[in-house]
Amino acid sequence: MTYGAFARLSKTALVLLGLTVPAQAEGVDILALGDSLTQGYGLAEQEGFVPQMRAWLEARGHEVRLVNGGVSGDTTAGGLSRVAWSLSPEIDAMIVALGGNDLLRGIPPETSRANLEGILQEAETRNLPVLLVGMTAPGNYGTEFKQSFDAIYPDLAQAHDTLLFEDFFEGLRVEGAMPADMSAVMQPDNIHPNAEGVAQIVEAMGPAVEALIAQAQE
């Protein structure tokens, strides 16, 4: 058999001859369901969380389409109301990063918990792996509120067997605490990270998203 003839063999013919065909890595489509932190509020398009995370993953060899499902001002209730139609048929996995606006509005933790659980249940009905990204309540809400809110994410991750990244802002913490001066990594509103802050957040969260990709490819 000449080389040219061999090259023209179909994959099926190769299998029949007992030859192996190199596996092709399939791309993964991930929905990032979130609020302004996901959407990229106040930043140039390529400086936001989704573009920076996509670039971080691609630099490590991952073929991934990261869909920006961030809506500025959205609460967990808003996320629950739109998750069903946001999960279009091609989506293979989902990042859920909601709760910051619930904190800003003082929404009862039990309400936030119920909404997030509804989102996870929607993913379960579609057999989609999820990375749940947590938030941490500030101390000025009181000890009881903080304990109730902070427990939402690890509790739900355990109950629904999802991946967990405990705090969206983990990459900005030094020795477990936020620095007193955050001006270098935050926008003037002191709520949203600037481009450098997003880069640090992506660097910290990236390995958890890689774990999500691995689950989606199983």
Catalytic residues: 36, 189, 192
* Ordered domains of the chain (ranges, CATH): 27-216 (3.40.50.1110)
Q: What is the mean pLDDT of each run of 10 residues along the chain (218 residues)?
A: 36 41 66 97 96 97 96 97 97 98 97 98 98 94 96 98 97 76 89 96 98 96
DSSP helix/strand/coil, 85: helix
**Model pTM above 0.75:** yes
For the chain, give me the number of helices (H) and strands (E)?
A: 10, 5
Burial class (CB in 10 A: 0-12, 13-18, 19+), 176: exposed
Per-residue pLDDT of 43-58, as tens digits, reads 999 999 999 999 999 9
